[in-house]
Amino acid sequence: MGAKKWTWIAASIVTVAGLVTGCSSTSGGTAISASSTTVGAQEPSEDDPNNTTSTKDMSTVTASPPAPGKTSPYLDRMINICPRFPDSAVSAAGLDPSLGRFPLDAHTSELLNTCSFNAADPTGQYPSSWSATVSITSQSIDELIHQPTARILQSNIPIGPQTAYTFRSGFADETSCTLAYGTFFGSAMYISKQADYPVDTCAKVTQVARALYPYIPTRPSELSTK
């Protein structure tokens, strides 16, 4: 793998980490997405998004930010998502699976985990024409889009059963575009970055999200730490 390709992948991962860590709360604890917690000693319901053993499909559930001093039950359950994406879906996203897939962490991590891909240059002049990073994070969608530096570009973008936002943070320009939507565990986030020549990064990231969203976890039991 060439040095340039690694540079693009590293830049995408740094961008994702910056977006997520930039929206942590300082009021009594780290603000991580969570819905209401189970009261008392009752067995958690299969319908409770905070029941980490639930096998129920929660693809239409969007978590809210936690109460002050609370953290998400999914904080330490961000799994390596790279193996979840079949080559056919990666190709449908406009990316080239033969160029590899690169996880941020091959094991379960805390705040987020990512998987990066590259798109082949059709001219053959460069190693890649653009790259994309797919992320899962325990930060809620409200925390992501309400960062002081976030500039919302478009809202209500249909991505499967969810509606998404495209945005850029203060340090980002048109060479990258972020798309995110809420999930039961926090948020799913996609970032596209151009490489050696201009592309419409927001159009690309929307294509990526529509091709790969079916492979984002939809059941709490999928986010296992084992």
What tokens were used for 121?
């240059």
Identify the pLDDT of residue 70.
86
Backbone phi, then psi, for 203, in 5-degree steps? Answer: -65, -40
What tokens were used for 20?
């997520």
pLDDT at 12 over 80: no
User: pTM for this one?
Assistant: 0.81
Q: What is the mean pLDDT of residues 176-186?
A: 96
What tokens were used for 44?
């958690």
DSSP structure class, residue 65: P
Q: Which H or E element spans position 87?
A: helix 87-92
Identify the pLDDT of residue 85.
98
